[in-house]
Structure 1
């Protein structure tokens, strides 16, 4: 058994999106993404299905050119290789569930590429 909190020890950064793997199980990786208002993750794809849960805040979640406004408590799923992007409309905590086969480093690369 493991216990974690998505809302404790928050360290938002004015200059970059903050990601952290909070939990890894035999089947998934749970990643916390902290976005300040206005920060964005440019369009990208995940090689495996994902689940995105808005723990706090509001984001515009673009899926293949269509915007979905997601607010606290909302959950969205995507199949593998679906283009998507995120824009924080307010300071937001996002829970990203990845397949065990996916790499957390891939998410960090998306963040780094979004800063360019």
Structure 2
């Protein structure tokens, strides 16, 4: 069995949706890149799960790779489908809700 914490994904062809699995009643995350300059994290949200409203110190880009997500930015809700993305600006309140299961890549660019 591979230890995912020490697993190197560099120089490999990857299918992001296959790198993370849904779990009933949960939000699952898997960090792929962690650098001082930014992070790339995969998320899988079961239906009915989400992240409550919060802010982040840096811009974050949510790219939907499976399913459909509702992302609220500064009280405005956006429904995103597979293949779509949205930029959540730094220091602006945002939230994530899974009406249906979905997976996303979250890219955070540090200043």
Over 3 Å counting, the alpha-carbon distance change for 1:78 and 1:10 in structure 2 is: closer
Contact 1:12–1:18, Cα closer than 8 Å, also in 2: yes
Gaps of 5+ in 1: 102-116
Which residues of structure 2 form unaligned runs of 5+?
1-9
Specify the structure having the higher radius of gyration (Cα): 2
Q: CA deviation at 1:99?
A: 2.5
Please tell me the root mean square deviation across aligned C-alpha atoms, in Å: 1.9
**2:42 alignment partner, one of 8, 32, 53:** 32
Return the TM-score normalized by structure 1. 0.76
Runs of 4+ in 1 over 2 A off after TM superposition: 1-5, 23-28
Q: What are the residue-to-residue correspondences of 1:23-102 with 2, within 5 Å?
A: 23-24=33-34, 27-100=37-110
The alignment status of 1:16 with 2:26, answered yes or no, reads yes
Please report the TM-score for the alignment, with normalisation by the length of structure 2: 0.80
How many residues are matched?
101
Higher fraction of helix: 1
Over 3 Å counting, the alpha-carbon distance change for 1:10 and 1:78 in structure 2 is closer
In 1, Cα distance between equivalents of 2:86 and 2:22: 23
Secondary structure in 1 matching 2:39? strand
